[in-house]
Structure 1
Amino acid sequence: MSKNFLFILILVYLVVGVISFVSILNHNFKTDSKNKELENKILATQLQMKEQELNYLKRQIHPHFLFNTLNTIYGFAIQQSKYTPDIILKLSNLLDYILYQINKPVVNLKEEVLHIEEYIGLEKMRFSDTLRVQMNASNLSNKHKIPPMLLIPFVENAFKHGQMVDGFLSINIHIDIIGDQLAFTIKNSVKELHITEGHHGLGLENIKKRLQLYYPNRYKLEVEHGHHWYKVELKIDNLKDLSHE
């Protein structure tokens, strides 16, 4: 009896142990599944918020440029200028880029530069003989991609907040690819005692947010101002590695 009792007791302990082990494994599996499901929901929410923030930032980029250009077209139309059709064509190309191409995750860097040149062309007509612009773009190729409207807001700000010195608004733009790094510099004239807060305001903050979303910890944005000039310099490392592509 004692031997049978001991055998039965051991058997009961084994059965209870196996059942407990299986129960614990099942509980852990369910807990892990719930945790992973929760993590996936959190990640999906974060991605959705990131996408919404990007869309919000994109929508703030271009309204005042559109109004300025429409005013320019209105002025040329009143004068019955021969340049009016050319302005409308340039504006049409830019609007296509601003309103439709911006929904793409990336665009060719050359395409962004082309639309910067069109933008400058429109501003040249608006400023007439009081504008001096120099733009150099080198080492660009079709393999270099960036988020749409990444550089144009810098140019837009230079025209918006730049000021005439000695009768001219002067703007210098330099775009270069060094290895896999994008180097972008823009410098505009400004009256030393009248540097506007707009340079440091909402526009630049939106640009910083976009850069952080697309190139976290891989960009360097510096702002300098001196005697009658204001300069912004942007460098992006590992240009091909676009986190939001």
Structure 2
Amino acid sequence: MFTNVLNTTKSFFLHFFFWIGVWFFFVYFFSYNSTDTVYITWFSSLLLPITIITTYITTYVLIPKYLLTKQYFKLGLYGFYTLVLSTYLIVLAIYGSFIFITQLEISKVPPMGRNFIFILILVYLVVGLTSFISLLKHNFNVQSKFKTLENKILETNLQIKQQELNYLKKQIHPHFLFNTLNTIYGFALKKSEHTPDIILKLSNLLDYILYQVQKPKVQINEEVAHIKEYIELEEIRFKDRLLVSFINKIDDTFLEIPPMLFMPFIENAFKHGSIVNHFLTIEIQLTITDSNLQFECKNSFIDTSADESSGIGLENIKKRLQLLYPEKHELMIEIIDAFFIVTLEIQLEKHE
């Protein structure tokens, strides 16, 4: 409430000093080739309220109600009425001053006060100036509101995007844990000596998931270490039935990427890969040079009627990639020569 009162008071004084300035402008204008200060003062004072009325009708009625709403017929009609009213009042001011101030002595009327057209132009010069300022102010307010609305929309979109990413992450984690716990369960049933080692590695993976994956981005060396930890866990599970290689060539080990970006592909390779010639073969390559990221994961695979590309993990990573790198990534999933191959290429930003 105090702010509204302050703004109202500020607006009042701005208008007050503006019209004082207009009055001095009239006095200065009509003083040209005239020294009759009495007539000039009174005539300027009579002309000022006419100008104020015409200006306020134009700026607070005609412009917002008809011009900005594109009601041009009504604008022309009521604009004409305003012109007639102001013309009538100016004529009254001219003849009233001539009768009551100069006592019908035309010689006492200043040269600039005798020309009705000139006086009308002078009044509408002020009206035009204030109308122009009013339109500029309106345009600025509209642009400001539009910018504010645009920022709110962008902020809302970012929040929705972040919420969707978090939702997809939460879906990926249970999927990953489900696969790993199944492995531990199988070893526990066999009372394998590798069970404690698997639990230890799982605890490391859980630490990564709970504390690192919540971040929007992690260093690539942390992601690589996580992948290696997972591969070691799977090597224990598969024993001598697994042939796996992980080659990474990374120029900048401090490069930051979204966490768990490659894990769904790798998990899918271990889960859906086929043992061919007594071995499950998995080859993983990760190359990052400058602003280009290339990832490939291929696993031995016996083609069946099942659609291996429709798992929870792969579907989630496709959605994540669309959100994280729209139009900046290319994902290919294909089967070539008994190998299920996933190829991902991402154009990274320079600051990533």
Write the mapping of 1:138-177 to structure 2, written as runs, cut at 5 A.
138-177=249-288
Structure 2 counterpart of 1:127, one-letter code: F
Specify the code of the residue in structure 2 equivalent to 1:59: K
Residue 221 of structure 1 corresponds to: 331
Are 1:3 and 2:114 counterparts? yes
Q: Is the 8 A contact 2:309 2:333 kept in 1?
A: no
Give matches, 1:73-84, under 5 Å: 73-84=184-195
Q: Which runs of 4+ in 1 moved over 6 A?
A: none
Give 5+ residue unaligned stretches, structure 2: 1-93, 95-112
Q: Does 1:191 align with 2:191?
A: no
Letter in 1 for 2:291: D
Give the drift of 1:63.
1.9
Q: CA deviation at 1:201?
A: 4.7
Structure number with greater Rg is 2
Q: Offset of 1:4 from its aligned partner?
A: 4.2
Which sits farther off after the overlay, 155-164 or 204-213? 204-213
Partner of 1:132: 243
Please report the TM-score for the alignment, with normalisation by the length of structure 2.
0.63
Tell me how many residue pairs correspond in the alignment: 241
Q: Residue 114 of structure 2: SS of its match in structure 1?
A: helix
Report if the CA contact (8 A) 1:144-1:240 is conserved.
no
Aligned pair partner of 2:171 in 56, 60, 80: 60
Q: Secondary structure of the residue that 2:213 maps to in structure 1?
A: helix
1:89 match: 200
Deviation of 1:128 (Å): 2.5
Question: Which runs of no fewer than 5 residues in structure 1 stay unpaired?
Answer: none
Residue in structure 1 matched with residue 89 of structure 2 by the alignment:
none
Taking a change above 3 Å as real, the CA distance of residues 129 and 217 of structure 1, as seen in their structure-2 partners, is same
The worse-fitting range, judged by mean Cα deviation, of 88-97 and 159-168 is: 159-168
CA 1:201–1:32: 2 relative to 1, 3 Å: same
Q: 1:241 to 1:201 in 2, by over 3 A?
A: farther
Contact kept? 2:276, 2:300, Cα under 8 Å: yes
The aligned runs of 1:100-119 (5 Å cut-off) are: 100-119=211-230
Q: Report 1:24-35 matches (<5 A).
A: 24-35=135-146
1:236 correspondence with 2:332: no
Task: Please say which of residues 222-231 and 63-72 is displaced more in the overlay.
Answer: 63-72
Aligned to 1:182: 293
Aligned residues of 1:161 and 1:199 also touching (Cα < 8 A) = no
**Contact 1:94/1:115 (<8 A) preserved:** yes
| DSSP 3-state at the match of 1:60 | helix
Stretch deviating more after TM superposition (146-155 or 94-103): 94-103
Distance 2:135 2:116 in 1: 28
Compare the two structures and name the one with the higher helix fraction: 2
Aligned to 2:231: 120
- Superposed CA deviations along residues 71-114 of structure 1, whole A, max 9, x for unmatched, are 32233334443322221111011112123211112111111111
Contact 1:138 1:177 survives alignment (8 Å): yes
Name the CA distance, whole Å, in 2 between partners of 1:228 and 1:58. 31
The structure whose RCO (Cα within 8 Å, separation 6+) is larger is: 1
More divergent stretch after superposition (53-62 vs 144-153): 53-62
More strand by percentage: 1
Separation (CA, whole Å) in 1 of partners of 2:172 and 2:152: 31
CA separation in 2, counterparts of 1:240 and 1:122?
34
Report if the CA contact (8 A) 1:110-1:141 is conserved: no
Deviation at residue 230 of structure 1 after TM alignment: 0.8
CA distance in 1, matches of 2:231, 2:210: 18
Instruction: Show the counterpart of 2:130.
Output: 19
Q: Secondary structure of the equivalent of 1:154?
A: helix
Tell me which of 318, 327, 330 is aligned to 1:208.
318
SS of alignment partner, residue 103 of structure 1? coil
Larger mean Cα displacement after TM superposition, 208-217 or 43-52: 208-217
Pick closer, same or farther for the CA change 1:115–1:196 going to 2, 3 Å.
farther
How much has 1:208 moved relative to structure 2?
Answer: 2.4
Change (3 A) 1:203 1:70: closer
| SS of alignment partner, residue 62 of structure 1 | helix
